[in-house]
Structure 1
Amino acid sequence: MLNTVIETVVAVAARIPAPSAPTATTLPDLLSRFTELDEPLQAELRDRLPAGEWVIDSLDGAVQYLQGLPQWCVTVTLVDGDTPRLTVLHSPALGETYAAERGKGAWRDGAPIRPSAKVSLAAALAGTSHPATSQPDADAAAGKALPAVLGRIAALRNLGPTSWQIADVAAGRMDLFWLFGQDAENLLGASLIATEAGAVVSTTTGAPWTPTSSGFLVAAPGLHSEAVATLA
């Protein structure tokens, strides 16, 4: 099934127009443009994917896409309740595809991936983001944690879509990523990629992560404990 899903996602993504210069001037304009793109993509993916319960984000990184930037991807995840079973992320701009299947592994373009071997936050490249909708408690927690993290890491970036940044941690391109708040649509599939690659997934306090958790952290094994302590 995995190869079929990859082929479907890549084919649908290939028909998405390349990002262009932004034209929206108000929030309603942005939302209208997003809906025009998202609804037909969602419908096509659901029509073409194998039978099952799918969580789909046809434009993870929609803000970047609508601003004419290349940092966005298409994500689909087969779930059994709250448990991700299979996931595919495809970036048309990079021409790369991340995929994972529970109990079988995680790959980028068919090659197995693994997290970095770093053991010190002082050498780490970290990423962060926030949910698409404002969540006041999460916003406050993020604001409190940021100064502590900035004083401990080599660099902090937001490199685009949440799911892709997590997959990059799984592949060792980044060393950790965190998010305060709930964003299950973007976290479910990416968490499977991270877990199957050998990265450590938890809440920001180090507890097991679930889609209803109020925070998310993924890190290379040698950095996870220090990352939890720093975020706290």
Structure 2
Amino acid sequence: MNFRDRCRLFWNLVLLSIGSAVFAQETALEFFNSVSEHYKSISDYSVDIVIEKGDTVQSAKVWYKQPNKLRLDFASPQGMVMTVDGNLLQVWVPAYQTFFTQPLRGNSQAQLANVSSSNGLELIKKYYTISYDPGPELMSLEPDSPIKVVKLKAEWKSSTQGFRRLDLSIDTDRQIRKIVGITTINEEITFIFSNFSLNQGISDSKFQFEAPSTGNVIENFLFDPS
């Protein structure tokens, strides 16, 4: 084999190796799909959430049950509760001693379910372009955190969505640990998730709430259900 043939063989092997690595590596969309499949397998969960927007920080314990039951018990603001039992949205705001209620239309139920389930991930896939940020390598969730995550960015395909960009941090169990959303007016809202507990068999009664009888009641605070 002469020098030219050896060079040609060498570069063919290099190109083959590079090509194999590219095809073997999970694409950002494939990785995102695997996260969506994981969330589809979850019948219910509880998780701690911290929501940050500017100087405002809220924290709550979240319970969710497929397909559209949700409860948030807030530690900050203290005592605030939000529940969705599948048909009715209820919000208790103790600072104002006010109980807000809203019967939900079918499309509203679907939207609430989408926010808190694998359907929400399907909507991200539909309306956003997904890529690694910066690559598929594991990195620390925060500079001093032992939690390792893959970071994705989802950039809107059109200006019809509420967030122009979503930055997602996903751990090795395919669970979302952090979302940073950039709104249409460039405001940043951060959601941080911790202390996951999956498939506990949460009772439907968890999503029922009765406000104190002394509070004010405001019905249909979002829209007229008729």
| TM-score bracket relative to the smaller structure | under 0.3
- Structure 2 length normalisation: TM-score? 0.22
**Structure with greater proportional strand content:** 2
Larger of the two Rg values belongs to structure: 2
- Structure 1 length normalisation: TM-score? 0.22
Higher relative contact order by CA 8 Å / sep ≥ 6: 1 or 2? Answer: 2
